Chain A
Amino acid sequence: DTEVTQTPKHLVMGMTNKKSLKCEQHMGHRAMYWYKQKAKKPPELMFVYSYEKLSINESVPSRFSPECPNSSLLNLHLHALQPEDSALYLCASSQVLNYVGTYEQYFGPGTRLTVT
């Protein structure tokens, strides 16, 4: 099974709401990623977890809060978002790169987030 699942598929939230995005994989991958993608642009890395520990945070605003409760799950908690945060949020997983890497990422279908 090479599938990464993401829920929900679509989310509309107001600027005062709190919501969470969920990502799950059962490939035994120990690296998991959150990306943000605007229309017609490449994905932008937000966070990387390696062995359930946050290893990369690309200076993301604190209104985005990641969580990796176990090796299969990755959450992204959202609070007090701005309209410019509207985007496609992609989750990915891979084997951990412990040297100059050859491991590919597997992507989920994404959550389309609209902030009103």
Chain B
Amino acid sequence: AQSVTQLDSHVSVSEGTPVLLRCNYSSSYSPSLFWYVQHPNKGLQLLLKYTSAATLVKGINGFEAEFKKSETSFHLTKPSAHMSDAAEYFCVVSGDTGNQFYFGTGTSLTVIP
């Protein structure tokens, strides 16, 4: 069975400092992994995805994530936080049967001016 654990429910950073949002997954096979961002009262936007190609994945808005199989992790990073990055972030893993996705509980990112 698949599951996702987002290790921090809230992260607060100062503008211009690095961002690290942590995600661990559990899967019986090599999954696909995704990070989505959700701004208040909006839908979810795909930031990046891992699909068994390069382990370092670059996404939109300067975000990156590294897939580490040995650590079963898929942490999201950004070198320098911007005020517009303040939002909710979800780590998602694909299921082993068709058309199922498993969501983490989310990390709320606050950016302090």
- Of B16-24, B71-79, B103-111, the segment with at least 4 beta carbons within 8 Å of chain A is B103-111
- Within 8 Å of chain B (Cβ to Cβ): is A59? no
In the assembled complex, the Cα of A94 lies from the Cα of B41 at a distance in Å of 22
Q: Known: A88-B41, A107-B45. Contact between A96 and B34, CB under 8 A?
A: no
- Establish whether residues A104 and B99, one from each chain, have CB atoms under 8 Å apart when the complex forms: no
A-B contacts counted at CB < 8 A amount to 76
In the assembled complex, the Cα of A91 lies from the Cα of B52 at a distance in Å of 27
In the assembled complex, the Cα of A40 lies from the Cα of B45 at a distance in Å of 16
Distance (Å) between the CB of B47 and the closest chain A CB?
A: 10
- Within 8 Å of chain B (Cβ to Cβ): is A17? no
Interface residue tally for chain B (C-beta within 8 Å): 29
How many residues of A sit at the interface, in one of the four size bands? 20 to 34
Distance (Å) between the CB of A104 and the closest chain B CB?
A: 5
Which A residues lie within 8 Å of B42 (CB)? 109-110
- Within 8 Å of chain A (Cβ to Cβ): is B63? no
Which A residues lie within 8 Å of B44 (CB)? 43, 90, 92, 105, 107
In the assembled complex, the Cα of A66 lies from the Cα of B95 at a distance in Å of 22
In the assembled complex, the Cα of A97 lies from the Cα of B94 at a distance in Å of 10
A interface with B by C-beta (< 8 Å): 4, 6, 31, 33, 40-43, 45, 48, 50, 55-56, 88, 90, 92, 94, 96-98, 100-110, 112
B interface with A by C-beta (< 8 Å): 29-32, 34, 36, 41-46, 49, 51-52, 88, 90, 94-96, 98-101, 103-106, 108
Nearest 5 A/B pairs, CB to CB: A42-B103, A102-B51, A107-B43, A107-B44, A97-B98
